[in-house]
């Protein structure tokens, strides 16, 4: 009997604000000395009060609109209570009953199909500090004391909660990728799992034969797309096995162990905490009224899916080409800047997807760090179009442009290939260089001993070889003769 | 010159004119505190050095021709739950007994900026939880009008100090009557302004949606001047309203001719101490003779539910706001074998009995199941109470009612009959629930010398009108004299 897996995700995005959610501490905490990026407010010093960061609300509304959510014009914060060393107030300020954005969706591409995944809501909340448990062997357990770093405490997060609309690990990954892309397009978050600016909690169950939802298990500690995929595959197999063997599943939270490749029970529903949620009275209600929302809506950039469609219609690209080019906004912008130089779109797309991609991969850099300006790549592609450069030559030139951070013109020169024809002064330079390297031949000619003109021909040949045939033989002959005379 | 008999405005005027210096005034008040506070224990920390330095600064401003501020050289005290830069702020609890903040509460800062001179901190019920000022780790404060009675609470130290002539102005915090009830018990004037009138920044919280800073003075003109200094928006407290405040000092003398004033009826007057009923009758008569129209008002929802509602809201919030005291970053710390054990020991040892009780009740109220049955209904009732008052103030300008059902309690009642003490908040907690301004106004004394009083309430942000009413009544009733603590020397049991 094949059961259908049902997956819902909670994605935490760290919002790209300058300051924390409720105080004026810098949000630039990564790499800072522990407990230097703190203030009385985020340390919960008695008497202090939270002050809401308007920019975080704006970013929350932005991504809410991107997710096609409706924005609530009367939203409040709640307090979520628990005692732990990473939480100075002993409550986290979060949104509970009245989140800022509700009821949206995203369309994803997975298993070769487009699919709509509904978004239940998006809410804003503050992050907690970070605990470090120093053990001699680096393990999490067995430390005799713990250290706490409050630098991250109070950082703004938006949590996006999906409906349980995904049915495979591939769909889950596609959903996360789509949200990450949206967050980056809207510049609301870096969306990096490595640095923790994007974090995911996974909920998975198997549907019963009658179609009703089965017992739900939450998986935590999945810190990369790969571990999410593996954890889902493991957990789906585990749940199937338990049910196949006639066992029962319990509603619980399980931790993914990336090394062992298994999930382990952390706490069951009975052990579920009562967070004693209630309204945060230190903050007035937020009113994100229609005018405010409209203003933000108007400021939104082109969405990734809009760009994808436009690239297909405007540049006659295939869906696959368009998907790849629009994956990152910066790459899409680069592509369009190339095209605007006058280079054919199909060719630009090809160069971007093949050569540029390869270089980026080899160097391990992103398109932002690619040293060749889009206009230069555009010109290079035009040269190929005009047959001034062969494809092979053009790749050499691009390689030099990257390696030496050279302009197109310099790179062409450095490659020693003719940029059109070498004439006049440039040609004289080459000839002078050849003369200098063949002093004996020059001497022979100048002393009148080149009876048959063999040495002159020899020198002309060297010049032609040096210029790779891009100089006019007649001009070479005349210049060589005049410079010898 | 008996400086302690001057009002705040008289002191400031003399300082500005050069009749006397802020340092002289300060020195006289400090002497009086040192001489007599042993009898009533109203002050827990004196900060003489910083006070003299502030007073000298005011004197320098005067001699250099700079504006020394509207409260130039006025010595004041604040309750020990106001954060004071460099001065111990304990909330009169073991939990914070050695905590020294490095910032001033906005209210303290505004007073200093106005030229007033902070002398120190006053006694209070631990974490502002109580109505008698008996739960302080520094021991109880006694009522300067009668040493056998409590000064009320939780701002009992502040009220007692003003009554004893230790300062013309003291600040307290009022969550359910904590400024006004002790003011009533000590025979001084106390005000809880509208919620959002004064910044709460730097007040160690009891309940976020109820707490408000309140001034205590011996007359309404001083009260209006202090409110003028304290009121106003604050970037550090977004619940403090941004509306443009009138000049409270100017409007306080506007009179009440033609105003419509309601007198509360429909409560159990029989169970009240009779001099307090007589005080209401007197106040009503004063209003009439000042040209106001008197009507009767019943507030059935409020009278039936206010106390229960108040304790649900306040204790729920207290359990949340006091959760930060875990002994890790500040406050009393006790070691344990695990994090949880450290928390348990630190909190059990750091908090006193009443505070632990209120945290436990509050935690229970917010726990799943109880939350739906207690907290949620309480918030709905709270809204109904606010609505009942909003409706009332559509038709009348102000309300006169009792502030406390009883004259100052004898010492030790809190142990004997805690429920009676909780019920004592029935009239005072309403203003906090509904966010309204309220003044506890002295209406003379009984034959035994116990102060009697009334509560005046007005619509939200109708603080100016309320001060005008208080001023009009005070004109007839007179402002209370300083307690005769010199003669009572040695009376303390």
- pLDDT over threshold 60, residue A291: yes
d(CA A457, CA A298): 71
- Tell me what pLDDT residue B385 has: 98
B304 falls within a domain? no
Question: Is B234 a domain residue?
Answer: yes
| Contact partners, residue A320, CB within 8 Å, separation at least 6 | none
- Cα separation, A356 vs A369, in Å, equals 12
* Nearest CB to A83 within list B96, B316, B343: B343
Q: What is the mean pLDDT of residues A287-311?
A: 94
Taken in order A187, A192, A195, A197, the sign of the CA dihedral is positive
Is the peptide bond preceding residue B154 cis, with omega within 30 degrees of 0? yes
Query: Does A323 contact chain B (CB < 8 Å)?
Result: no
Say how far apart CA B261 and CA B259 lie, in whole Å. Answer: 6
Q: Is the pLDDT of residue A93 over 80?
A: yes
Please say whether the beta carbons of A220 and A257 come within 8 A: no
pLDDT value of residue A136: 64
| pLDDT of A418 | 52
Contacts of A48 in chain B (CB under 8 A): 201-202, 236
| pLDDT score for B491 | 40
User: Are A288 and A339 within one domain?
Assistant: no
pLDDT bin (cut points 50, 70, 90) of residue A271 is low
Task: Please tell me which of the candidates A45, A81, A85 has its beta carbon nearest to residue B328.
Answer: A85
User: Among A414, A443, A475, where does a domain finish?
Assistant: A414
Cα distance from A82 to chain B (closest Cα, Å)?
Answer: 9
Burial of A371 (C-beta count, 10 Å sphere; 0-12/13-18/19+)? middle
Q: Return the closest-CA partner of residue B406 out of B193, B132, B162.
A: B132
Q: Which of B167, B192, B170, B168 is nearest to B179 (CA)?
A: B192
Chain A contact set for B340 (CB, 8 A): 83
For residues A206 and A214, the answer to whether their CB atoms sit within 8 Å is yes
**Minimum-distance CB partner of B323 among A40, A51, A81:** A81
Cβ partners under 8 Å of residue B358, min gap 6: B129, B315, B318, B319
- Say if B119 is an interface residue toward chain A (CB within 8 Å): no
Q: Starting at the edge strand that comes first in sequence, how are the strands of the sheet with B169-174 ordered?
A: B43-46, B117-122, B75-79, B169-174, B212-217, B189-192, B438-445, B451-457, B398-401, B260-265, B293-298
Strand partners, A14: A157
| Cβ–Cβ pairs < 8 A, chains A and B | 90
Question: CB of A287 within 8 A of CB of A52?
Answer: no
The pLDDT, as a whole number, for residue A480 is: 86
H or E stretch covering B223: helix B220-230
Task: Report residue A193 as tokens.
Answer: 């799992």
Work out the widest C-alpha separation in chain A, in whole angstroms: 107
Per-residue confidence (pLDDT) for residue B260, from 0 to 100: 98
**Rounded CA separation A346/A280 (Å):** 55
* pLDDT beyond 90 at A267: no
Percent of chain B residues past pLDDT 90, beyond the cut: 94
Whether A362 and A440 map to the same domain: the answer is no
Q: CA dihedral defined by A303, A305, A311, A314, rounded to 10 degrees? A: -80
B329 vs A90: CB contact, 8 Å cut-off? Answer: no
The closest CB to that of A281, out of B91, B209, B343, belongs to: B209
**Of A85, A276, A280, which has the smallest distance from its Cβ to B339's Cβ?**
A85
Residues A58 and A93 in one domain: yes
Residue B134 has pLDDT above 80, yes or no: yes
Angle between helices B300-321 and B376-395 (to 10 degrees): 130
Q: Which of A471-480, B264-273, B417-426 has the highest mean pLDDT?
A: B264-273
Tell whether B105 lies on the interface with A, counting CB pairs under 8 A.
Answer: yes
With residue A443 as reference, give the H or E element that holds it: helix A439-446
Q: Measured between beta carbons, which residues in chain B are less than 8 angstroms from residue A84?
A: 339
Residues A441 and A379 in one domain: no
Structural domain boundaries, residue B85? 3-299+387-477
Q: Is residue B334 part of a domain?
A: no
Report chain A residues whose CB lies below 8 A from the CB of B200. 49
User: How many domains are there within chain A?
Assistant: 3
CA separation for the pair A225, A256 (Å, rounded): 13
Strand partners, A6: A205
Tell which of A238, A260, A293 closes a domain. A293
Tell me the CB-side half-sphere exposure of residue A414, using CA atoms within 13 A: 17
Q: How confident is the model at residue B475 (pLDDT cuts 50, 70, 90)?
A: very high
Whether B339 and A51 lie within 8 Å, measured CB to CB: no
Say yes or no to pLDDT of B329 above 90.
yes
Report yes or no on B153 lying in a domain. yes
Tens digit of pLDDT for each residue in A42-89? 999 999 999 999 999 999 999 999 999 999 988 899 999 999 999 999
Residues of B in contact with A89 (CB under 8 A): 323-324
Does some domain include residue A217? yes
Return the sign of the alpha-carbon dihedral for residues B209, B210, B216, B219: positive
Q: Does A153 touch chain B (CB under 8 A)?
A: no
Which residues of chain A lie closer than 8 angstroms to B324, CB-CB? Answer: 44, 46, 88-90
Give B144's contacts (C-beta < 8 A, 6+ positions apart).
Answer: B39, B40, B42, B151, B160, B163, B164, B186, B483, B485
Q: Suggest the residue from A40, A276, A277 to mutate for an interface test with chain B (most B CBs closer than 10 A).
A: A276
Q: How many helices (H) and strands (E) does chain B have?
A: 18, 11
Considering only the beta carbons, identify the residue of B89, B200, B368 that sits closest to A49. Answer: B200
CB A480 within 8 A of CB A463: yes
Per-residue model confidence (pLDDT) at position B490: 40
Please answer whether residues A124 and A100 qualify as being in contact, where contact means their C-beta atoms are separated by less than 8 angstroms: yes
Closest-CA distance of chain A to residue B205, Å: 6
More confident residue, A339 or B492: A339
The residue segments making up the domain with residue A176 are: 5-293
- Residue B452 three-state SS: strand
Q: In angstroms, rounded to a whole number, what is the distance separating the alpha carbons of residues B425 and B434?
A: 14
* pLDDT confidence of residue B493: 35
The pLDDT of residue A476 = 85
Answer whether residue A419 is part of any domain: no
Chain A residues close to B238, C-beta within 8 Å: 49, 51-52, 283-284
Confidence band (pLDDT; 50, 70, 90) for B492? very low
How many CA atoms are closer than 13 Å to the CA of B485, on its beta-carbon side? 29
CA dist B132 and B151 (Å) reads 6
Quick one: pLDDT at residue A172?
97
Four-CA torsion A438, A444, A446, A447, nearest 10 degrees: 150
- Predicted confidence at residue B95, as pLDDT, reads 98
pLDDT digits (tens, 9 = 90+) for B60-69: 999 999 999 9
State how far the Cα of B470 lies from the Cα of B255, in Å rounded to an integer: 9
Cα separation, B458 vs B390, whole angstroms: 10
* pLDDT for res B133: 97
Task: Give how far A291 is from chain B: nearest CA, Å.
Answer: 22
In the block, tokens 């505190």 appear at: B33
Percent of chain A with pLDDT strictly greater than 70: 95
Last residue of a domain, one of A261, A293, A325: A293
The mean per-residue pLDDT over the stretch B413-434 comes to 88
pLDDT beyond 60 at B470: yes
How close A375 comes to chain B (CA, Å)?
48
CA A234 to chain centre: 27
Q: Residues of B with CB below 8 A from A129's CB?
A: none
CA distance A48 to chain B (A): 6
Per-residue pLDDT, averaged over B448-452, amounts to 96
Q: What is the pLDDT of residue B410?
A: 93
Residue B366 resides in a domain: no
Q: Which residues of A touch B235 (CB under 8 A)?
A: 51
- Whether residue B63 is contained in a domain is answered as yes
List the CATH number of the domain containing B402.
Answer: 3.90.1300.10
Contact in structure between B182 and B133 (CB atoms under 8 Å):
yes
Cβ–Cβ gap B367/A49 under 8 Å: no
Question: Quick one: A80 and A208 in the same domain?
Answer: yes
Mean per-residue pLDDT over chain A, rounded: 91
Provide the number of structural domains found in chain B: 1
- Regarding whether A120 and A238 lie in a shared domain, the answer is yes
Find the range with the poorest average confidence among A26-35, B202-211, B228-237, B254-263.
A26-35
Q: Is residue A67 part of a domain?
A: yes
Instruction: Note whether residue B374 is domain-resident.
Output: no
Minimum-distance CB partner of B204 among A47, A84, A89 = A47
Contact A91 B235 (CB under 8 A): no
Q: What is the pLDDT of residue A419?
A: 52
Tell whether A49 is within 8 A of chain B (Cβ): yes
How far apart are the C-alpha atoms of B270 and A445, rounded to whole Å?
A: 136
Which of A49, A82, A277 would best serve as a mutation to test chain B binding (most B beta carbons within 10 A)? A49
* Mean pLDDT (whole number) for B13-34: 98
DSSP A365: -
Same-domain pairing of A269 and A397: no
Domain shared by A219 and A269, yes or no: yes
Chain A residues whose CB is inside 8 A of the B205 CB are 46-47, 282
| A147 and A229 share one domain | yes
Q: Residue A366: which of A319, A395, A412, A333 has the closest Cα?
A: A333
Answer whether residue A269 shows pLDDT above 80. Answer: no
Domain assignment of residue B120, yes or no: yes
Whether chain B has a CB inside 8 Å of the CB on A45: the answer is yes
| Closest C-alpha among B85, B99, B88, B148 to residue B123 | B88
* Distance from chain centroid for Cα B208: 16
Q: Which of A190-194, A471-475, B445-449, B463-467 has the lowest mean pLDDT?
A: A471-475
Q: Looking at the annotation, which residues of B are catalytic? A: 79, 154, 178
pLDDT in tens, A130-180: 988 777 665 656 677 889 999 999 999 999 999 999 999 999 999 999 999
Residue A51 lies in a domain: yes
Confidence of residue B357 (pLDDT cuts 50, 70, 90): very high
User: Model confidence over A421-462: pLDDT tens digits?
Assistant: 677 777 788 888 889 988 888 888 888 888 788 888 888 888
Residue A47 to residue B320, Cβ atoms within 8 A:
no
Q: How far apart are CA B112 and CA B115, in angstroms?
A: 5
The whole-angstrom distance between A153's CA and the closest CA on chain B is 14
Question: What whole-number percentage of chain B has pLDDT above 70?
Answer: 99
Q: Decide if B323 and A40 are in contact by the 8 Å CB cutoff.
A: no
Instruction: Check CB contact under 8 Å for A47 and B340.
Output: no
Q: What is the pTM of this model?
A: 0.89
Do A131 and A159 reside in the same domain of the chain?
Answer: yes
Are both A198 and A221 inside the same structural domain? yes
* pLDDT mean over B232-261: 96
d(CA A13, CA A175): 14
pLDDT tens column, A214-263:
899 999 999 999 999 999 999 999 999 999 999 999 999 999 999 999 99
Where residue B242 falls among pLDDT bands split at 50, 70, 90?
very high
Q: Do A333 and A232 fall into the same domain? A: no
B285: its two tokens: 């008569």
CA trace torsion A355, A361, A364, A369 (10° rounding): 30
Q: Kindly provide the ipTM of the predicted complex, given to two decimals.
A: 0.94
Burial class (CB within 10 angstroms; exposed 0-12, middle 13-18, buried 19+) of B303: buried
Question: At B56, is the pLDDT very low, low, confident or very high (cuts 50, 70, 90)?
Answer: very high
Paired residues of A122 in beta bridges: A101, A160
Residue B118 forms beta bridges with which residues? Answer: B76
Whether B101 and A276 lie within 8 Å, measured CB to CB: no
**Contact yes or no for B238 and A283 at CB 8 A:** yes
CA B62 to chain centre: 31
- Distance of alpha carbon A128 from alpha carbon A153, whole angstroms: 4
Helices (H), A220-328: 225-244, 290-299, 304-315, 319-326
pLDDT at residue A416, as a whole number:
65
C-beta atoms of A276 and B103 within 8 A? no
Q: Does B330 touch chain A (CB under 8 A)?
A: yes
Q: Pick the closest to residue B224 from B251, B192, B187 (CA basis).
A: B251
- CATH code for the domain in which residue A465 is found: 1.10.10
pLDDT at A179: 97
Matching residue, tokens 């500690």: A221
């Amino acid at each position: 009997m094949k059961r259908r897996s049902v997956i819902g995700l909670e994605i935490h995005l760290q919002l790209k604000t300058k300051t924390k959610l409720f105080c004026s501490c810098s949000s630039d905490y990564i790499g800072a000395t522990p407990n230097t990026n703190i203030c009385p407010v985020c340390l919960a010093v008695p008497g202090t009060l939270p002050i809401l960061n308007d920019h975080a609300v704006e970013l929350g509304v932005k991504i809410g609109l991107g997710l096609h959510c409706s924005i609530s014009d009367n939203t409040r914060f709640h307090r979520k209570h628990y005692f732990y060393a990473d939480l100075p107030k002993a409550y986290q300020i979060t949104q509970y009953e009245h989140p800022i954005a509700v009821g949206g969706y995203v369309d994803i591409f997975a298993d070769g199909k487009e699919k709509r995944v509904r978004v239940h809501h998006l809410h804003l909340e503050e992050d907690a500090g970070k605990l470090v448990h120093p053990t001699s062997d680096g393990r999490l357990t067995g430390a005799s004391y713990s250290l706490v770093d409050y630098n991250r405490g109070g950082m703004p997060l938006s949590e996006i909660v999906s409906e349980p609309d995904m049915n495979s690990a591939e769909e889950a990954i596609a959903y996360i990728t789509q949200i990450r892309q949206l967050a980056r397009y809207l510049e609301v978050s870096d969306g990096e799992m490595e640095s923790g600016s994007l974090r995911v909690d996974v909920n998975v169950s198997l549907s019963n034969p009658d179609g009703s939802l089965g017992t739900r298990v939450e998986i935590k500690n999945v810190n990369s797309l790969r571990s999410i995929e593996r954890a889902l595959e493991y957990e789906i197999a585990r749940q199937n096995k338990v049910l196949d063997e006639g066992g029962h599943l319990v509603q619980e939270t399980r931790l993914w162990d990336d090394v062992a490749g298994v999930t382990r029970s952390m706490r069951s529903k009975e052990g579920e905490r009562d967070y004693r949620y209630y309204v945060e009275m230190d903050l007035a209600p937020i009113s994100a009224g229609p005018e405010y929302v409209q203003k933000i809506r108007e400021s939104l950039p082109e969405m990734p899916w809009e760009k994808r469609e436009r690239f297909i219609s405007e540049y006659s690209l295939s869906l696959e080409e368009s998907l790849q080019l629009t994956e990152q906004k910066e790459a899409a912008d680069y592509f369009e800047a190339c095209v605007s130089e006058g280079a054919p779109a199909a060719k630009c797309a090809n160069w971007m997807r093949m050569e540029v991609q390869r270089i980026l991969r080899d160097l391990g850099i992103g398109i932002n760090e690619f040293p060749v300006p889009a206009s230069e790549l555009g010109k290079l592609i035009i040269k190929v179009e005009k047959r001034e450069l062969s494809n092979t030559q053009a790749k050499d030139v691009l390689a030099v442009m990257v390696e030496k951070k050279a302009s197109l013109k310099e790179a062409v020169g450095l490659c020693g290939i003719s940029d059109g024809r070498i004439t006049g002064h440039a040609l004289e330079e080459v000839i002078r260089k050849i003369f200098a390297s063949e002093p004996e031949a020059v001497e022979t000619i100048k002393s009148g001993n080149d009876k048959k003109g063999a040495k002159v021909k020899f020198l002309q040949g060297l010049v032609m070889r040096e210029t790779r045939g891009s100089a006019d033989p007649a001009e070479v002959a005349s210049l060589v003769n005049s410079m010898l005379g | 010159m008996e400086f302690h008999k001057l009002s705040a405005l008289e002191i400031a005027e003399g300082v500005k004119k050069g009749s006397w210096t802020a340092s002289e005034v300060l020195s006289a008040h400090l002497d009086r505190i040192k001489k007599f506070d042993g009898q009533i224990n109203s002050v827990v920390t004196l900060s003489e050095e910083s006070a003299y330095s502030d007073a000298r600064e005011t004197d320098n401003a005067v001699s250099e021709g700079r504006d020394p501020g509207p409260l130039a050289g006025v010595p004041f005290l604040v309750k020990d739950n106001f954060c004071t830069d460099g001065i111990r702020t304990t909330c009169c609890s073991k939990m914070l007994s050695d905590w020294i903040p490095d910032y001033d509460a906005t209210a303290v800062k505004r007073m200093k900026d106005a030229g007033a001179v902070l002398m120190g901190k006053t006694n209070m019920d631990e974490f502002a939880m109580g109505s008698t000022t008996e739960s302080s780790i520094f021991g109880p404060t006694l009522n300067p009008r009668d040493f056998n009675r409590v000064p009320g609470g939780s701002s009992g130290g502040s009220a007692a100090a003003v009554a004893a002539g230790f300062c013309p102005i003291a600040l307290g915090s009022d969550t359910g009557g904590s400024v006004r009830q002790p003011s009533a018990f000590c025979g001084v004037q106390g005000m809880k302004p509208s919620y959002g009138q004064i910044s709460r920044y730097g007040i160690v919280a009891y309940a976020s949606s109820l707490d408000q800073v309140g001034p205590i003075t011996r007359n309404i003109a001083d009260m209006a001047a202090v409110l003028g200094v304290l009121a106003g928006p604050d970037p550090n407290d977004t619940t403090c309203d941004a509306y443009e405040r009138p000049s409270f000092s100017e409007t306080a003398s506007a009179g009440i001719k033609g105003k419509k004033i309601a007198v509360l009826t429909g409560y159990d007057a029989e169970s009240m101490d009779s001099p307090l009923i007589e005080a209401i009758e007197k106040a009503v008569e004063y209003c009439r003779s000042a040209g106001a129209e008197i009507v009767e008002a019943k507030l059935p929802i409020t009278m039936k539910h206010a106390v229960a509602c108040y304790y649900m809201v306040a204790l729920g919030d207290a359990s949340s706001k006091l959760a930060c005291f875990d002994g890790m970053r500040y406050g009393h710390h006790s070691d344990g074998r695990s994090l949880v054990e450290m928390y348990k020991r630190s909190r059990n040892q750091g908090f006193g009995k009443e505070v632990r009780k209120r945290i436990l009740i509050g935690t229970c109220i917010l726990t799943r199941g109880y939350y739906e049955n207690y907290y949620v209904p309480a918030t709905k009732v709270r809204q109904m109470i606010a609505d009942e008052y909003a409706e009332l103030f559509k038709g009348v300008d102000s309300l006169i009612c009792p502030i406390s059902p009883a004259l100052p309690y004898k010492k030790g009642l809190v142990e004997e009959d805690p429920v009676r003490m909780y019920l004592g908040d029935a009239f005072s907690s309403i203003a906090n629930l509904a966010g309204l301004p309220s003044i506890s106004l002295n209406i003379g004394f009984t034959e035994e010398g116990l102060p009697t009083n009334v509560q005046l309430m007005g619509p939200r942000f109708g603080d100016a009108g309320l001060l005008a009413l208080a001023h009009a009544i005070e004109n007839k009733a007179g402002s209370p004299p300083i307690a005769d603590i010199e003669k009572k020397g040695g009376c303390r049991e």
